[in-house]
Amino acid sequence: MQAELDLGAKLDPQHLVLVRNRDAVRTWLAAGGPGHGPLPKLVAGHDFELLERTEQPALPGPLPADFAEWTSR
């Protein structure tokens, strides 16, 4: 479970629900894991949501000087 949560957080570090679940599992494992207290409370939902991104996506590189000029060929 920990490996899957780590992979998910690596692939999408801005998915706040996933990161919260990963942190809850890490805390639970650090406290002793199975047999040492209650299970971690993981959250999940079936609601459709657009995730709010905390950063502007980066462009693939600088735009050329004529990026706004349209020509038909």
Question: pLDDT by residue (tens digit) across 20-53?
Answer: 999 999 999 999 988 888 889 898 866 666 666 6
Q: What is the mean pLDDT of residues 68-72?
A: 76
CA atoms in the 13 A half-sphere facing the CB of 59: 4
User: Whole-angstrom Cα distance, residue 68 to residue 21?
Assistant: 44
CB atoms within 10 A of CB 50: 5
Question: pLDDT by residue (tens digit) across 40-49?
Answer: 989 886 666 6
Instruction: State if pTM tops 0.75.
Output: no
Torsion angles phi and psi, residue 50, rounded to 5: -95, 125
Domain boundaries, the chain: 1-38
